[in-house]
Structure 1
């Protein structure tokens, strides 16, 4: 028998037939300056921009980013790529409200300052030590390095808007929570 779900209070033991095909497509972060954020997410974390959508009447743009492997399969036609983007898994949406980049004192709540809410996104990496060296090379700010605190082998970095990004190497986490 294949694994389906852990059972805890509140967990539906079997997925309802009506939910078949539901897929977590993307999570969204609001960004102050797209040039700065896109540089971080494409250069430092290696993501590719699948699609940019502008909404002139509402003065905002959406940037959808994903792993390079996903981007390689994207259709060339913009309309087809839009539909394709919304069918993917693990996409990051960066939302830019026009004009925020010109406001020196503007910032978004990162979810970790009080009152806490949103916490972080997470990237898994094949080699945590190599990733830390890469982040150091690019002067990425840390919340926590892998050897700090009680939770070892887990790092937290910050993006240009102060959002926390957890960095993990899956092979190092086999004993986590046991």
Structure 2
């Protein structure tokens, strides 16, 4: 029998066929300074900017980043790439409200300070130790290193806006929560 879902109170055992084809596409984070955040997510985390959309009348821009699969490259045509971007999984949308980068005191709530809400995003890496070394080499701020705390083999870093990013190596996760 094929696995479909763990079962807990509130879990719908048989989702409606009306939701067939629904794909979780992206999560949006606000960023203060595009130059700083785009450098972090492209150079440090290895993501590519798939599409930028500007909304001058509302004074904001959206940047859609992901790590496309080699067997499904992004189309060159802008309209086709926009549609393709919204078909992907695991996309990060970074929203820049124009002018925030010019305010030295400007800061977004990271979701982990009180009142808590949003917690973190997560990247799976092929080798946790190598990723930690890469983050150290690039002076990335750690919230928690893999050897710290009760949850071993899990790291948390911060992006330039203070959002937490969980870093896991899937092969090390087999016994977590047991």
For the aligned pair, the TM-score class normalised by the smaller chain equals over 0.9
| Preserved CA contact (<8 Å) 2:64 2:92 | yes
Q: CA separation of 1:98/1:49 partners in 2, compared to 1, >3 Å: closer, same or farther?
A: same
Aligned residues: 178
Q: Indicate the residue corresponding to 1:159 in structure 2.
A: 159
| Preserved CA contact (<8 Å) 2:30 2:95 | yes
TM-score, length-normalised on structure 1? 0.98
TM-score, length-normalised on structure 2? 0.98
| Distance in 2, Cα, partners of 1:73 & 1:56 | 29
Task: Give runs of aligned pairs for residues 133-172 of structure 1, distance below 5 A.
Answer: 133-172=133-172
Tell me how far 1:87 sits from its aligned partner. Answer: 0.7
Aligned-residue Cα RMSD (Å) equals: 1.1
Structure 2 portions without partners, runs of 5+: none
Tell me how far 1:71 sits from its aligned partner. Answer: 9.6
Task: Give runs of aligned pairs for residues 25-40 of structure 1, distance below 5 A.
Answer: 25-40=25-40
Tell me how far 1:79 sits from its aligned partner. Answer: 0.8
Q: CA separation of 1:96/1:119 partners in 2, compared to 1, >3 Å: closer, same or farther?
A: same
| Preserved CA contact (<8 Å) 2:68 2:74 | no
| Distance in 1, Cα, partners of 2:131 & 2:17 | 41
Structure 1 portions without partners, runs of 5+: none
| Distance in 2, Cα, partners of 1:71 & 1:166 | 27
3-state DSSP class of the match of 2:28? strand
Which is richer in helix?
Answer: 1
Q: Which runs of 4+ in 1 moved over 4 A?
A: none
3-state DSSP class of the match of 2:2? coil
